[in-house]
Amino acid sequence: MFRSGGYEMNDELEDATFAFGRTAEEVKRHPKARIPTGLVNLVRRCGLMDEVLETGFFLEISSRPVKQENWFKFEQVLAAEPKSQCPMGTSLRGVFSVFDGFDTFELGTFPWSPELPSQVWVRASLLDDSTLAWVLSQNKILSGDMNQQMNLHDFTELEIPNPQPVEFMRLPPPPDRPYNFFDEE
């Protein structure tokens, strides 16, 4: 996940947008989105706030228990199938909540996997040097959208609530096999 916008006055992780994908090619294709509360608080628990706000982070997801430092268990609390069938395939969606709290994120299966696990273990870590070099070599992944709509909240504190965008990213489920970010699809 690469920080790519959402530069509000307070520079908060909740407002940040990220480019994301399992591979370099997916990062270029997927739309930028905000990360859900489950990932915001995962980053906080791992002590990575400053680095994540600057460049981004790796997110690892496993369907097998991991008993190492900074891995957190999330359990599926809701699963849904679409009412209508898509000719390209069905995408199950599941909401996962951290085992010892209320923070959640959403996983979607299509096109990565045919099923959702009931539990996942998740870890956030810093980007390695080769991935950071790659993202710096790409045009506009780390920069925000220059045509982003501005409003009065961007310039002053108003006593009315600031409208919040609702676009949160949906994550893929754990991989069926190990892979590398630079693998070809």
pLDDT tens track for 1-21: 999 876 655 568 888 889 998
Nearest Cα neighbor of 171 from 116, 100, 101 is: 116
- Residue partners of 103: CB distance under 8 A and separation at least 6: 36, 37, 38, 40, 41, 42, 97
Distance in angstroms (rounded) separating the CA atoms of residues 45 and 55: 18
The confidence score (pLDDT) of residue 176 equals 77
pLDDT tens track for 129-158: 999 999 988 877 777 654 445 555 555 565
Confidence tier at 67 by pLDDT (50, 70, 90): very high
In the chain, what are the domain boundaries? 2-151+162-171
The confidence score (pLDDT) of residue 169 equals 79
pLDDT tens track for 105-114: 998 876 667 7
Distance in angstroms (rounded) separating the CA atoms of residues 114 and 91: 8
The confidence score (pLDDT) of residue 146 equals 45
Cα distance from N-terminal residue to C-terminal residue, the chain: 18
Tokens at 74, concatenated: 């999330």
Backbone φ/ψ region at 5: left (φ over 0), alpha (ψ -120 to 50), beta = left
Distance in angstroms (rounded) separating the CA atoms of residues 149 and 128: 33
Is there a cis peptide before residue 165, judged by omega within 30 degrees of 0? no
Specify the pTM.
Answer: 0.77
Stretch 95-121: mean pLDDT, rounded?
Answer: 87
